[in-house]
Amino acid sequence: MTSVTEEERRYFDQMPAMFPVYVQLKERLEQRYENIRVKVTKTQISFSNRYIFTVVSLPWRRHKGWPEKYLLVSFGLDYKKDSPRIIQAVEAGRRRWTHHVLVEGKDGIDEELMQWIDEAYRFSLFK
């Protein structure tokens, strides 16, 4: 099992049901990439190599039609990716798109999401 810091655990105090989902994602990230850094802030947990390549956060306000509990997984690419799973894609800068995916359970940490994060990981190495 992956090691999780007390700071990471505390981040999920307000929504403990999402902690196992986070652990699953972190395990998958650690299996795929060496030397990633994890930073916990009040609003998010970021994963980086040279730059941040993916971020997870908990809901901070209600959105009509969205589930009550989810993990928001965000990643950046140099183009806008289209998929029904991507709830929002925002052009954060020139040739920089931030994509957001709602993950309600461990089954949402699937190969499709991991391939998108793979792209974001590679993009963050060279941007």
Q: In what order do the strands lie in the sheet with 96-103?
A: 37-40, 45-48, 52-57, 71-77, 96-103, 86-93
Residues 70-124 have pLDDT tens digits of: 999 999 999 999 999 999 999 988 889 999 999 999 999 999 999 999 999 999 9
User: What's residue 1's pLDDT?
Assistant: 59
User: What's residue 54's pLDDT?
Assistant: 97
User: What's residue 94's pLDDT?
Assistant: 85
Torsions phi, psi for 69 (to 5 deg): -120, 125
Rounded to two decimals, the pTM is: 0.93
Q: Say which residues have a Cβ less than 8 Å from residue 70's Cβ, sequence separation at least 6.
A: 18, 58, 59, 102, 103, 104
Residue 19 DSSP one-character state: H
Q: Is the pLDDT of residue 42 over 70?
A: yes
